[in-house]
Amino acid sequence: MTTAPDPDLDRLAVATIRGLAMDAPRAASSGHPGTAMALAPLAHVLFTRILRHDPGDPTWPDRDRFVLSNGHASILLYSMLHLSGTGVSLDDLRAFRQWGSITPGHPERGHTPGIEVTTGPLGQGFANAVGMAIAERFTRARFGPDLCSHHTFVVAGDGCFEEGISHEAASLAGHLGLDRLVCVYDDNHISIDGPTELAYSDDVPARFAAYGWSVVQLGEAADDLDAIEAGLRRALSGQGRPTLVVLRSHIGFPSPHMTDTAKAHGDPFSPDEIRLTKEILGIPPDTSFWVPDEVVAYYARMAEGSRQAHAAWAGRLAAWEEGGGDRAAWDAAQAGRGLPGWEAKLPSFDAGSEAIATRQAIKLCLDATAPLIPGLVPGSADLTGNTGMALDGATAQSAGEPGGNLVHYGIREHGMGAVMTGMAAHGGVLPVGGTFFVFSDYMRGAVRVAALSGVHVVYSWTHDSVGLGEDGPTHQPVEHLAALRAMPGLRLLRPADANETAQAWRIAVDADGPVALVLSRQKLPVLAGTAELAAEGVPRGAYVLAGAGETPDVVLVGTGSEVALCLAARDLLATGGIAARVVSFPSWDLFAGQAGAYRDAVLPPGVPRLAVEAGTSFGWERYADDSISIHRFGASAPGAEVMAHLGFTADHVASRARALVRG
């Protein structure tokens, strides 16, 4: 049953939203009222006439997704969550932008019920929405439209579309033909500095048409609820392409002095201006946070159709399972996990067997375990084979292959990162994306948002050091390990060989948040002891690989390809009577989470420690007394030669260790 709109209640609801959009920033002395005021009619139409959402269960898998990419207008979304009964109270609105509230300055996933993704850095939410549309299509193809058939809606403004990430994501969406993706372009011509014409003269609709999007021009219809609804319903038809709905709005409307001004963007209105505007709106001018009961009741009635749709979906899920549907696969895909026992398929490698680059080892791990990870969707930024993402038997995701389980992101690293965040936030997939480690710089904004929001994505960053060789310093990471280790919420592992890579993949699949695998271009030996010790040692972040039963004179601490150097140096030191322990240290954050007794057992207090890592020494002072590191950019030459010139040889490691022992 669908409830028909009530024009009088529609007008009252829009006025109520605009009142809240002024009141919350005023109470906080901080915030962005203007965009929320301008888009109040759009939000009202979406939440009462278009979106399929259940306020009682905002995580229902087959709900429509809504993303506010211009997240500075967060009070608009919080107001809608309050009116629709999605766990945001009037007191929460009063606590806008305050410590401990669930209404922070920008929407944060996992912090507020009903928030799909963390937005604020402009353009990120738009790219997240592209990822959600990919995940929806993959899940629909994988499990059928009875279990997954919904749309993704995103609102974005000029700030989002000026950011380069929007170009990457929009281009990919058009190429893939994501016809369940609807973007509303808030065309308000205002930025913080003033009119957008100061720096921006793009023909945005033409640009999106060139990307392969359908474009619906609504013109001056920001307050015409029926025109907005009609435009959105046109967009729902898709016609094989994503749709851009262009809405010319007026920031701060209907304020008598702030409409169409830059101040309306980021400055709370004065009490006098709020009073005048509320008089125009016909709501109590001297009452803050006024929400009439009849508006709340109206929203509850208008959501009845969505609640019924949710109930019908639950019935279809039960019937599908009773009819032989693979519920375990559905649950694993929704969680981005493997089926029970999946890790038994992880490959193991014998010491002394053929050397293998860890970027090649990750491919072997993916190939071996993919049949037991139903939502696995790897991909790469044009480096699919180079980064180990060329999954055997995979089909490329495309308009013609909606169930394709391999994404060719093209040369769009930042877009790839944010699209993966959206895929993970949607559910139904475990996205794994690869590029060269040095280009994690291009992804960093998206990686930070993934870490902030705790989504389950995996990055396969390969060509991890100056050992890359001839491509030279533009392609050789130096400072990247230190920079990414500093990021809260990102689990980073740099495995030493193929066995450690297998265990790193196990950690990545079972993780709750984002995981970065930092992998070598060059072939590395399979080290003695990793087949036996890595399964327990890698999850603890560091472990004794050689010399566990000895009283060491020195501890050699290595990561990645440098662990083999430490082992070779240990043999050299033994000839001079120096007992060296070798510690493989794939993950700082995992090691930091271990009990003090374990950390002391691995790195005995009072024993000198030498860290060996082909990157900057920044941070190693917490674990080592000295380090063989890099304090310059790399060079173009064969990888082994570059490493040797920069001090990464067994002889040099042994020499520095002897000096450390001598004190």
Catalytic residues: 413
DSSP state of 548: T
Cα–Cα dist 327/638, whole Å: 51
Contact partners, residue 387, CB within 8 Å, separation at least 6: 359, 380, 434, 435, 436, 460, 461, 462, 519
Give me 472's structure tokens.
Answer: 């030279």
Give me 256's structure tokens.
Answer: 């008598």
Cα–Cα dist 69/156, whole Å: 5
Handedness of CA 21, 24, 27, 29 (dihedral sign): negative
Cα–Cα dist 282/280, whole Å: 5
Bridge partners for 418 per DSSP? none
Q: How many CA atoms lie within 13 A of 523 on its CB side?
A: 6
DSSP H or E stretch at residue 584? strand 580-584
Shortest CA distance to 497 belongs to which of 642, 362, 663? 362
Q: Which residue has the tokens 């072939």?
A: 523
DSSP H or E stretch at residue 249? none
Cα–Cα dist 569/575, whole Å: 10
Q: How many CA atoms lie within 13 A of 646 on its CB side?
A: 29
Give me 91's structure tokens.
Answer: 């007191």
Shortest CA distance to 5 belongs to which of 37, 57, 41, 38? 41
At 1 the three-state DSSP class reads: coil
Bridge partners for 233 per DSSP? none
